[in-house]
Amino acid sequence: MRNILKSFLFLLVSLLCIFPTWGGEIRPLPQRSDRSNKVFYLPQFSEFESISDNEMRFFRKTLERAHQARARALILELDTPGGSVETAFKYLSIMEKSQVPIVVYLNPNGISAGMIIAMGADRAAISPNGLIGDAMPISMGIGGVKPVTEKPEDPAEKSAGKAPAKSDKQPEKLKNAPKNPQQPAMLEEILREIQNLRSSQENKEDKSLADQKFLTVFFKMLQVLAEKNSRPVNVIRAMADPYTRLTAEKDGIEHNKRSPLTLSAREAQKLKVVDHIAENRDDLLRQLGLENAELVEVKRTATEQIGLFLATPAIAGLLLVIGLVGIFVEIKTPGFGVPGVLGISALTLFFLGHIASGSSDWGPMVVFFVGLLLVALEIFVIPGFGLVGALGFLCILVSFFWAFGLENVSTALRVVTFSLTAAIAIMILLAVYVLPKTPLFRKVSLDAVLSSEEGCKAQTADQDLIGAEGVAVTPLRPAGVVRIAGERHDAASEGDFLDAGAGVVVTGCNGFQLVVRKKDV
């Protein structure tokens, strides 16, 4: 009987070693006495959506609310295939400065940028059927999608059968960085360096160099994140670098494929990439020791959802085109009607959408209407076109870029450029082919033709009057009216200005005008 009991206990211990967290290991978050009992829960990208700057701003806003409420933690639920690396960096920067503990719950997947965000959290959790990894940076351009980590082909090395060597050069800032990976200044330094490197690509050679420098800083950032939260550095790097090889003896998993590493939930927890495997939200709260906390689930209001929809680049660009074309048609037609209302409404929605999504405040909208007022003054009040009109157009253009937020200059440049090009093309088509044929436009345009067949002839000056004398009825400066033999004629002096009442002599004809000079006394 005793042997049977020993065998049973040995089997039980073995099973626990194989499945150490099958029931969910309870690892409570460190608590502070000055914290309330609230836990904020933010389900972002819960339908396998790419991360975006709009959602990043909402995350920052929610984190500010959690800080004001002295929350015990903020749980960010993600299910994402990835997205912009720059946006992931912004998430990391926000999380690094947070005084509220952050838990990222991958439900179920955290691919690419989702993995990077999870590595920046104080705790990382994943659904039992989830995946994490495949964070290889890629660039998108005219040539399509291209991995930034692609090794350049050197003809000399290729012919010799050698693999191109990796560059070990690091930016000067990183060489002098502190050795302690726990210091927040280190991550901040790396994030700033990455932002600078990604914006310095003037030609093909510079772009290749910038990509290599970016990778150096990018992998250093992954190392800092891994060491900060006691995660395996090589495994984390293998998720982003297709050339990193792993061995079962050293790293706990065999990986010799030329591809970025992707892990299942069980593999990720075994390798300590994630801290928890949670079936659902309640299971996660239990494992964190927060099952008795007051849960505050944060969702967007209807206004915020509408604003987020209007602020998406495609919709924002469409609103810009509709607004600009509507104002153009209104200017070209008399009165104020449907085109003007439609144009102003579209541009108002453009600005309100960005305000509601958190991209900007009321400043861009105010600048836009100031610019619109200046342009209206230039067109309808001030004669000609000068400084006021140019300043108005500049205010309008600046407001469009400002609406996207100062941190989204590249997105603003792309959307505004495309919208202006499309709007100008539509304006030309309307002005040439559509507006001239509309009844409303015909009422204010002169399209009558006076042909010679109908007896209409242009009047010309009478050649027989050359040499005749007369009197200037109006001042000639140099054009005016003269009276000859009791009849009035249009005339122009040969060059000198003549006062009214001066005697004149006709010296020639110029179209419908007589050419005259002052009569000698």
Task: For residue range 300-334, list pLDDT tens digits in order.
Answer: 888 888 888 888 889 999 999 999 999 888 877 76
Classify the phi-psi angles of 112: left when phi > 0, otherwise alpha if psi is within -120 to 50, otherwise beta: left
| 405 compared with 288, residue with greater pLDDT | 288
Domain count within the chain: 3
pLDDT over 70 (residue 164): no
- Select from 380, 413, 443 the last residue of a domain: 443
- Please tell me what DSSP assigns to residue 464: G
Rounded to two decimals, the pTM is 0.64
Most confident of 21-30, 163-172, 267-276: 267-276
**Which pLDDT band holds residue 262 (cuts at 50, 70, 90)?**
very high
Give mean pLDDT, residues 194-210: 54
Structural domain includes residue 207: no
Task: Kindly report the CATH number assigned to the domain that includes residue 494.
Answer: 2.40.50.140
How much is the pLDDT for 512? 81
Q: How far apart are CA 242 and CA 260, in angstroms?
A: 4
Mark whether 489 and 511 lie in a shared domain. yes
Give mean pLDDT, residues 294-299: 92
Q: How far apart are CA 165 and CA 189, in angstroms?
A: 27
Task: Kindly report the CATH number assigned to the domain that includes residue 69.
Answer: 3.90.226.10
pLDDT over 60 (residue 88): yes
Mark whether 243 and 385 lie in a shared domain. no
pLDDT tens per residue across span 121-150: 999 999 999 999 998 887 655 454 455 565
- Select from 414, 443, 472 the last residue of a domain: 443
**Which pLDDT band holds residue 259 (cuts at 50, 70, 90)?**
confident
Structural domain includes residue 349: yes
Structural domain includes residue 198: no
> Helix 363-380 to helix 338-357 angle, to the nearest 10 degrees?
160
Bridge partners, residue 491, by sequence: 480, 514
**Which pLDDT band holds residue 50 (cuts at 50, 70, 90)?**
confident
Give yes or no for a contact between 220 and 210, defined as CB atoms under 8 angstroms apart: no
pLDDT tens per residue across span 222-244: 898 899 888 999 999 999 888 88
| Rg from Cα positions in the chain | 37
| Burial tier of 336 (Cβ tally within 10 Å: 0-12, 13-18, 19+) | exposed
**Average pLDDT in the chain:** 79
Mark whether 497 and 416 lie in a shared domain. no
Q: How far apart are CA 472 and CA 479, in angstroms?
A: 10
Residue-range definition of the domain harbouring residue 474: 458-518
| Lowest pLDDT segment from 159-163, 221-225, 301-305, 453-457 | 159-163
Give mean pLDDT, residues 45-51: 74
Task: Collect all residues with Cβ–Cβ distance below 8 Å to 3 and sequence separation of at least 6.
Answer: none
Classify the phi-psi angles of 141: left when phi > 0, otherwise alpha if psi is within -120 to 50, otherwise beta: beta
Residue listed under structure tokens 């194989």:
18
At 123, which amino acid appears? Answer: R
Mark whether 264 and 408 lie in a shared domain. no
2, 14, 17, 157, 332 from 11: Cα distances, Å: 14, 5, 10, 55, 87
**Which pLDDT band holds residue 211 (cuts at 50, 70, 90)?**
low
